[in-house]
């Protein structure tokens, strides 16, 4: 199965997958306490780099805004094949 890949058009900063749940639970970064916000790990992607860890729910909006672009797919390795 192939996964779609995206490339950042501009520099992007967003919560890493490990921190996304806490941010969503709080209702966004702006609603988090200063202490909780300090614990959030951010992912930074430079313009032109692959942005493969973007939260699924953000992809449609980022594409519409022109902040990322779809660049194809990567083939996953078949089990037992080299």
User: Rounded to an integer, what distance in angstroms lies between the CA atom of residue 24 and that of residue 42?
Assistant: 14
Q: DSSP E strands: which ranges in 1-82? A: 2-8, 12-15, 42-45, 68-75
Q: What is the pTM of this model?
A: 0.73
User: Rounded to an integer, what distance in angstroms lies between the CA atom of residue 12 and that of residue 27?
Assistant: 20
pLDDT digits (tens, 9 = 90+) for 29-56: 999 999 999 999 999 999 999 998 898 8
pLDDT digits (tens, 9 = 90+) for 2-34: 688 999 999 999 999 999 999 999 999 999 999
């Amino acid at each position: 199965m192939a996964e779609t890949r995206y490339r950042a058009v501009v520099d992007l900063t967003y919560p890493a997958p490990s921190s996304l749940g806490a941010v969503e639970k709080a209702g966004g970064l702006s609603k988090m306490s200063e202490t909780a916000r300090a614990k959030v790990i951010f992912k930074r992607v430079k313009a032109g780099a692959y942005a493969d860890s973007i939260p699924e729910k953000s992809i449609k909006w980022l594409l519409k805004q022109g902040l990322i672009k779809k660049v194809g797919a990567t083939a996953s390795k078949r089990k037992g094949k080299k």
